[in-house]
Structure formats: structure tokens, C-alpha cells
Structure 1
């Protein structure tokens, strides 16, 4: 699996209400209540945290539980 495919899968898991993909020109896109276009996965994630704050909080909660379990 390529890094791009892995990042796309992670973003789709974090934001299940959004269709996340990279177009044929390398532009990262998320389609949900609005269309977001970004030049990188990091920029797309920044935009998604603003556009979908509830999904962001949910994802942060899920991942903090995973990190806590791994630490014990």
C-alpha cells in the first residue's frame, strides 16, 4: 500500500461522512456538505477539522483510547 493510499484510508476512517480522494492531478479532495480541495493531506486535514468539528472530536476521542491502551 502506498503512503497516499494509507493516508486516504486514514482520512476516510476519521471522517466517514466525507468522500476523501486524490484526483489525477494530485489534488486532495473531500466531498461532504461542502467540497474541500487541498494541495496536501495535511492541508486537507486542517480544513476538515474546521468543516467537521464533531467528527474531529470523535476521532480524537477514538485515537486517544487507542493510545492509552497501547501505553498500558
Structure 2
């Protein structure tokens, strides 16, 4: 029972983290449609789609950092 609850808690944290990424992308791109398009598009910088990377903690960090760079105008 505790293992199941631990897995549920972990899943909820991952879902909340993905929601944080979506909100950050919406802030950077100005609306939900543009944010979702970016999250689903292949990124040469990231080597995958941001959405695919969002399945791991390390991937979410990479995506968040890339959104921060874009927000600050650093496109290199």
C-alpha cells in the first residue's frame, strides 16, 4: 500500500512539474497555443521535443532552463 501511495505521490509531483513547464512556456510565448506548439516541436538545442523530455526530472530542468534562456533573449 505504501509503495502504491509513494508512486502516486511521485506521479503527482511529475504532473505538477509538467504544469509548471506549461505555465512557464505560456509566459514566454504569450499564449497557450504557442506554448503547446513549442513544447511539441523538435528542438535541436535540446535534442528532442520538450514534451518528451518532460518525463524525467533532468529533462524538465533542461526544458525550464531553455525557456528561461528564450525569455531572456538568449537564442544560442
TM range (shorter): 0.3 to 0.5
TM-score by length of 2: 0.38
* Rg (Cα) greater in structure: 2
The structure that is helix-richer by fraction is: 2
Q: Which structure exhibits the higher relative contact order, with contacts defined as CA atoms closer than 8 Å and separated by 6 or more residues?
A: 2
TM-score by length of 1: 0.39
The structure that is strand-richer by fraction is: 1
